[in-house]
Amino acid sequence: MPAARRGSRAAAMRPVPPEGAALGAGPPPESDASGTEGKLTRRAALALGGVTAGALAATRARDAFGAHDPFRATPDRPPPAAEQITYEEAQLAFRCHGFHLERLDSPITPLGSHYILIHFDIPKLDASGYTITVGGRVRNPLTISLDDLKRRKVVKEAAILECAGTGRSFQHPRAVYVPWFHEAIGVYEYTGTPLRPILEEAGLLDDAVDVVFTGHDEGIDLGVKHNFERGMPLDEAMKDGVILAWDANGQPLLQEHGFPLRLIVPTWYGMQSVKFLKQITVIDHTYQGVENKQVYRLTPSLSDGGRAVELKAVKSLIRPPGFPDLITRRRFVDRGKQLLEGKAWSGHGPIVKVEVSTDDRRTFRPAKLGDQISLAWTPWTFEWTPPGPGDFILSVRATDAEGNTQPLEARWNVQGMAQNMVQRLGVTVQ
């Protein structure tokens, strides 16, 4: 990475000292019972116990004050990084939690186990009197209340949402944003009404090109203040399965999942399923907003504008078998026959094949497919009898009807988007 880029990132992320304090200044060092300042005594280190004690005793404890200073806003995304995750990424990971992989045994995700990505703040909205507008390149602009929407044709559909940043942390160097691994997924059964009849009622003009969906949430990204909004081609917006949803799993949408109304586009990555829906605007050109033109793009280099992220890439996951180690999440199973299971999906078409490897991707054997669940995913199972005790790496690879197959390794891109390489799951047979 060029020195100038590294320097600009350091300047942009430099902490802001409290008023009256010098940058980098810290609080006075704490004293131990003997009165020695700024040192970790052997007694104090031993009291910490285990690995922590050994690590701290080996070096002088440092002031952590700087890590707790607020950062300045940055007009650009930081460049890809090779070091451990940053404080900014940790904060985003706490705010935007992932799917619990043990729930891969369920066709529909429990409400609390679905991944969540919140770009800005969760707006405080009331379903009573809630309306959306439909305008732009239409003959009959509409204002429609939530109650009116519920009186239209009602459909229920299970749909898998997957963050476009899935697998970001597996590429090296990785893009600095929410540090997703495999857990940026979830399937709810949504209740809503199809979008197509609404657009047809509005009377699309002949020059209509894109449809823009705007949410109530607003903030700053890349130095630009805007409501979160995404555009998509008109023909994609008119497809079956694209709905305006108000319920998930039989109850009103959770606040963080777009209450009281959101768009659901089941074949695209999750950024297109705009939450807190405020307005729908038909335009006569390709949408050029921040979240289409500058973010959510597959860019092979910093000098390349890349192409937009749209349909979900083919993907599959294994439900972790046995039981986990607390910190590493490595799995432990007993000897004997194991029934492995999981799910596979693609935005490009149905899943036609799933294969499982028990030798770290060297060889693959076919799994048994179940029936696809609505517009969501396809379950699969595989019987595995380990040859004996030891350590194994399990992987699963899916292929869709268009012939797309998961790669064995991550394919690097600047923003860390749409990583669909095969999972590597460490298992110890006891």
- Cα torsion 209, 309, 236, 146: sign: negative
3 state DSSP class of 293: helix
Residue 5: inside a domain, yes or no? Answer: no
Above 50 in pLDDT, residue 5? no
Please give the pLDDT value at position 62.
Answer: 52
Residue 87 has what pLDDT?
A: 83
What tens digit of pLDDT does each residue of 256-265 get?
A: 999 999 999 9
Distance, in Å, from the CA atom of 37 to the CA atom of 35, rounded to the nearest integer, reads 6
- Compute how many other C-beta atoms are within 10 angstroms of the C-beta atom of residue 18: 11
The answer on pLDDT for 324 being more than 70 is yes
Domain identity same for 233 and 326: no
Neighbouring CB atoms inside 10 A of 149's CB total 21
282 and 356 housed in the same domain: no
Task: Report the candidate in 383, 379, 363 with the shortest Cα–Cα distance to residue 371.
Answer: 379
Top mean-pLDDT range of 62-71, 104-113, 171-180: 104-113
Q: Does 31 reside within a domain?
A: no
Average pLDDT over residues 171-191: 94
Q: Tell me: do 160 and 223 sit in the same domain.
A: yes
Q: Does residue 23 surpass a pLDDT of 90?
A: no
Residue 334 and residue 249 in one domain: no
| Residue 202 included in any domain | yes
- The reply to whether 304 and 319 lie within a common domain is no
- Residue pair 41/34 in contact (Cβ under 8 Å)? The answer is yes
Q: Determine, yes or no, domain membership for 12.
A: no
- Per the model's pLDDT, the better-predicted residue between 18 and 389 turns out to be 389
Query: From residue 106, how far is each of 101, 216, 221, 352 by CA, in Å?
Result: 10, 32, 36, 20
Any idea which of 74-88, 392-406, 415-429 has the lowest mean pLDDT? 74-88
Q: Is 196 contained in some domain?
A: yes
Do residues 366 and 328 share a domain? yes
| Contact of 308 with 296, CB cutoff 8 Å | yes
**Mean pLDDT score, 389-408:** 97
For residue 264 the two structure tokens come to 């659901």
Residue 24 pLDDT: 32
> Contact at 8 Å (CB) between 107 and 379?
yes
In angstroms, the CA 124 to CA 127 distance is 10
Phi, psi of 377 (to 5 degrees): -135, 170
Q: What is the model's pTM?
A: 0.83
| Tens digit of each residue's pLDDT (9 = 90 or more) over 26-61 | 333 333 333 333 444 444 444 444 444 444 444 454
More confident residue, 84 or 318: 318
Report the residue count for the chain.
430
- For residue 79, being part of any structural domain is answered with no
pLDDT value of position 68: 64
> pLDDT > 70: what percent of the chain?
84
| Domain assignment of residue 123, given as a range | 91-308
Same domain, 352 and 219: no
In the DSSP assignment, the letter for residue 330 is -
**Identity of the amino acid at 5:** R
Averaged pLDDT for residues 267-282: 98
Amino acid present at 367: A
Percent of the chain exceeding pLDDT 90 equals: 75
Instruction: From 308, 338, 357, give the residue that closes a domain.
Output: 308
What is the pLDDT, as a whole number, of residue 63? 55
- What are the helix (H) ranges across 160-218? 196-202
Kindly list the distances between the CA atom of residue 135 and the CA atoms of 201, 277, 311, in Å, as whole numbers in the listed order: 11, 14, 26
Q: Which residue has the higher pLDDT, 36 or 418?
A: 418
Q: Indicate whether 354 pLDDT > 50.
A: yes
Average pLDDT value for the chain: 87
Q: Concatenated DSSP letters for 242-300?
A: -EEEEEETTEEPPGGGTTT-EEE-TTB-GGGS-SSEEEEEEESS----HHHHTSSEE-S
Domain total for the chain?
3
Residue that has been written with the tokens 């390349």 in this structure:
304
pLDDT tens per residue across span 69-122 = 677 777 777 788 888 888 888 889 999 999 999 999 999 999 999 999 999 999
> What is the C-alpha separation between 168 and 77, in angstroms, rounded?
14
Is residue 295's pLDDT more than 80? Answer: yes
Query: Does residue 229 surpass a pLDDT of 50?
Result: yes
